[in-house]
């Protein structure tokens, strides 16, 4: 969508990285996409919303300025946003399982209705530390790239507090869930695991974490240039997986380098 817009317009901006993959972002920058941190300096043009989405407040500010929006928010993220708003409108305390500093989670927090309580927890230890008032109704949603195991652990920790009512929404992306399951199976068979993707990509890091728990010989690399020949000295099976934001051409270059 960004590439099509660049062919039609001159002033195209991306509010933050469109996806967390440096190679893609650099390629789009060469084609004219300007990455900005906020919209203060923009008077006209088009803003591309990243796959992680933006808060309704920011979207409103962009609209007020009369700037065109191209929304590339992931459908799974949009679903989580709708749930966050609906459930907080109904008076539930919202617990979000995820990374508080991630743009997707920051936007999710802003979708919770004003005045409603919202907590962001990264794991079960933080969930155990939460304190709820007697009679409060609790809802739990997840950052779309979380691991199912971590999400379930947090849910259990919250249910252990015996809330009056709890509503659980598994908002983890099906693709992320499937990639993690397949990566786990592959890590058990392969002598070496390569996880290809951006280091700032949450779903890529999650793939690395699940593989690393199974095999110490798991390495996260962004491009073929990071391949270490010493990893490939002995004859072994090399397992390869990649983050959702990693383009096929990056994976192909890694495979070609290994085959050499």
Catalytic residues: 104
Query: What are the beta bridge partners of residue 221?
Result: 196
Residues 6+ apart with CB under 8 A from 108: 53, 80, 81, 84, 96, 98, 141, 143
Main-chain phi, psi angles of 22, to 5 degrees = -60, -35
Contacts of 220 (CB under 8 A, 6+ apart): 195, 196, 197, 199, 204, 205, 208
Are 118 and 89 within 8 A, CB to CB? no
SS3 content of the chain, % helix, strand, coil (to 5): 45, 20, 40
40, with CB counted inside 10 A (0-12, 13-18, 19+), is exposed
């Amino acid at each position: 969508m960004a590439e099509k817009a660049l062919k039609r317009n001159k002033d195209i901006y991306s509010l933050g990285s469109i996806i967390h993959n440096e190679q893609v972002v650099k390629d789009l920058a060469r084609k004219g996409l300007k990455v900005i941190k906020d919209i203060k300096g923009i008077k006209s043009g088009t803003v591309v919303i990243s796959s992680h989405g933006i808060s309704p407040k920011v979207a409103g500010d962009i609209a007020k300025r009369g700037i065109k929006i191209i929304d590339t928010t992931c459908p799974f993220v949009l679903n989580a946003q709708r749930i966050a708003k609906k459930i907080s409108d109904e008076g539930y305390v919202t617990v979000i399982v995820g990374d508080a500093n991630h743009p997707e989670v920051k936007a999710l927090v802003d979708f919770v209705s004003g005045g409603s309580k919202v907590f962001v927890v990264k794991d079960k230890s933080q969930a155990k530390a939460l304190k709820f008032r007697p009679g409060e109704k609790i809802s739990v949603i997840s950052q779309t790239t979380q691991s199912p195991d971590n999400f379930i652990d947090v849910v259990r920790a919250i249910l252990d507090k015996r809330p009056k009512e709890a509503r659980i929404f598994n908002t983890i992306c099906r693709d992320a869930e499937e990639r993690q399951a397949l990566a786990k199976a592959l890590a058990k068979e392969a002598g070496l695991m390569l996880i290809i993707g951006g280091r700032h990509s949450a779903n890529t890091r999650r793939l690395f974490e699940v593989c690393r728990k199974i095999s110490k010989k798991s390495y996260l690399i962004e491009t073929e240039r990071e391949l270490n020949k010493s990893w490939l000295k002995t004859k072994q099976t090399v397992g390869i997986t990649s983050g959702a934001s990693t383009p096929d051409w990056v994976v192909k270059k890694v495979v070609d380098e290994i085959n050499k």
